Structure 1
């Protein structure tokens, strides 16, 4: 079959897949790969690592603000132009970071880079535009799996770039990868609007429409809670492995490499399950694995002394569950408003961003045992997500029953 959804050729779909994976990879560099360069950045700008950490916070705020506008705007003018513009702006911001010697200007250029990187939110909208059915679900599984692997490898990559190219290395590589994405987007995306109706609706009206839908918000919360379990571990893992267990940066990088293997395993399981069971059942399986991981972590924390294995074993289970649950929930959410895929992606990404950030912050600031706190969080989040999924399923059955009964009553 040479053409799929909207006349997309096989060559275009292959190009789109490589483009989407490159966008996933690019999302790692501005945040994760630069972390090993904090001391060097602090020395260069005659500042402290805590001050450099401010650039991460500003970057996150910049992305959050940009994606709220980029998603709805892409429903009006199309994806390609915004993606090209965003990549260009992010490259200029990264180049400014490399060239400046003033810390205030560095922060300003980081915000510029973040505003450009807000276009990464279009990846979910592009999946919705270019693919359909099982192919769409499999691609979302691949993207989640690849994202986890990239995040797991990023500390090792950052350490290598810092040792060979200095702190500027991650920015130069980001610029090079952005150029590749720019070229791929130019070659493989068509300069057309994704929808033909309802595109002139006010941004706030569209946001009220999608965020007022219980099922839409529910599915994104399920995806967000699953993501928060993974993200919380990433945030507190340096505190556990480097601060409490006194592992070196290199040993810590190797630990995360093992953690990345769970994404591969989870991706394989998710691909197999997507062919055999419904997306609702996939969410139940994935969330149940996260719940089991939380119970396992609580047991290990109470029965054994803190060790890499007592943390890593339940995290491998949790990550496999996350990789199964998130793509299924995202596909369900994105299918509800296909004419507003950009707005839907922006709203969902914001929900994920808020949940992941707040939950990870609460866990990292907890005065109690971090391992136990993480275990309790897994149990609570997966339990709430399972309840949400059950509520949505029951609502769907009620609505379906009503729809069937309605004609007979006329």
Structure 2
């Protein structure tokens, strides 16, 4: 490590706090606005489908932004890109607050998304500033917290909508962004980057990391595990509100309970990280997701749709997701430590795309949603297990050669 990195690593509580806030801001702007759809639709005199479009474009904006930010941070340094990104995101959120028309709101929502792409640098910062088991423990912690943040965001959005109206979530985002900006200025050194300065070449950077089979396999494993969790979050209103007739408040509390299960999953992952290797952790996590899918199939066929038959298997899935993703992240990021920014961006875009496509396919299916979700858990976990079996086979082949 360089001297700046050592100085930062000695301030671990503050460093971890910064990484935690980056994780929060990476998921907060998407789910927290969902309870405000009716209010946004009324304010801008636009149908709900138009408001939903703003969420879709937000996702596209983040994905496009991350493709640029990763390689740029390997050249310019993490701090520069992070501060620029936070500023752009805050400007976008401010524009949303003062928007007087739907198209103005949509424009600034995309601006906010482009800035939010910088939060992918949390993975690169872990790679830069920590080593060995510390990296995996931090990734377990952040994956756990990320799942909790996603799950409790609708509850936070409900509260903010009741208290401050639809502008509440954007105002809170601006305040949080200002706090993260100040923390980054104090904690990060200008020289914080994953490599020595090099000529910027986006195509060459992505070709280098994406040509590595193991790198792509581990990130795809993380994407498959994340898709199981994300798909449930996306279709949960369709099941809990539309089919089980939950009130918005009861729905938010149900997701809060599900989010708390991430704490248990994180605890299990922390124990396993000290006792078994990363590859075994990945297999264990995927095995739990597979068990959750089979359990959901069995419960739904015998007991029908209920909160128990839905949430109990998903709690098991949560543990598997946390274990598999943290281990897969570490394995993937360790492939190219000198290109941590590019590596993090490539993986995050893959996770985002696969999660979005999977959740969209489930929500649009004409089949029973719970049955489709259960089959999704089984299929994605089997794909992950097959992929990692191929990684092990190729590794043994290389050793034999």
TM range (shorter): over 0.9
CA drift at 1:6: 4.1
CA drift at 1:13: 2.8
Which residue of structure 1 lines up, in the alignment, with residue 166 of structure 2? 167
RMSD: 1.5
Which sections of structure 2, spanning at least 5 residues, go unmatched?
Answer: none
Alpha-carbon distance in 2 for matches of 1:240, 1:162 = 22
CA drift at 1:248: 0.5
Which sections of structure 1, spanning at least 5 residues, go unmatched?
Answer: 403-410
Which residue of structure 2 lines up, in the alignment, with residue 140 of structure 1? 139
Contact (CA 8 Å) 1:198, 1:339: kept in 2 or not?
no
Alpha-carbon distance in 1 for matches of 2:184, 2:192 = 15
Which residue of structure 2 lines up, in the alignment, with residue 408 of structure 1? none
SS at match of 2:23: helix
Which residue of structure 2 lines up, in the alignment, with residue 364 of structure 1? 363
Which residue of structure 2 lines up, in the alignment, with residue 228 of structure 1? 227
Contact (CA 8 Å) 2:5, 2:192: kept in 1 or not?
no
SS at match of 1:8: helix
Contact (CA 8 Å) 1:77, 1:193: kept in 2 or not?
no
- 1:5-404 residue pairs with structure 2 within 5 A? 6-197=5-196, 199-402=198-401
CA drift at 1:390: 1.3
Moved more, 9-18 or 192-201: 192-201
TM-score (norm 2): 0.97
Alpha-carbon distance in 2 for matches of 1:138, 1:4 = 23
SS at match of 1:28: helix
CA drift at 1:24: 1.1
CA drift at 1:121: 1.0
Moved more, 287-296 or 390-399: 390-399
CA drift at 1:4: 9.3
Alpha-carbon distance in 1 for matches of 2:154, 2:192 = 38
Structure-2 change in CA distance of 1:391 and 1:220 (3 Å): same
SS at match of 2:274: helix
Alpha-carbon distance in 2 for matches of 1:13, 1:121 = 20
Structure-2 change in CA distance of 1:195 and 1:223 (3 Å): closer
Alpha-carbon distance in 2 for matches of 1:178, 1:339 = 28
SS at match of 1:73: helix
Contact (CA 8 Å) 2:128, 2:194: kept in 1 or not?
no
Alpha-carbon distance in 1 for matches of 2:75, 2:27 = 28
Q: Deviations over 1:10-48 (max 9, x none)?
A: 543322210110011112321111111111111111112
TM-score (norm 1): 0.95
Alpha-carbon distance in 2 for matches of 1:5, 1:322 = 34
SS at match of 1:247: coil
Alpha-carbon distance in 1 for matches of 2:99, 2:243 = 36
Contact (CA 8 Å) 1:59, 1:111: kept in 2 or not?
yes
Alpha-carbon distance in 2 for matches of 1:372, 1:139 = 34
SS at match of 2:335: coil
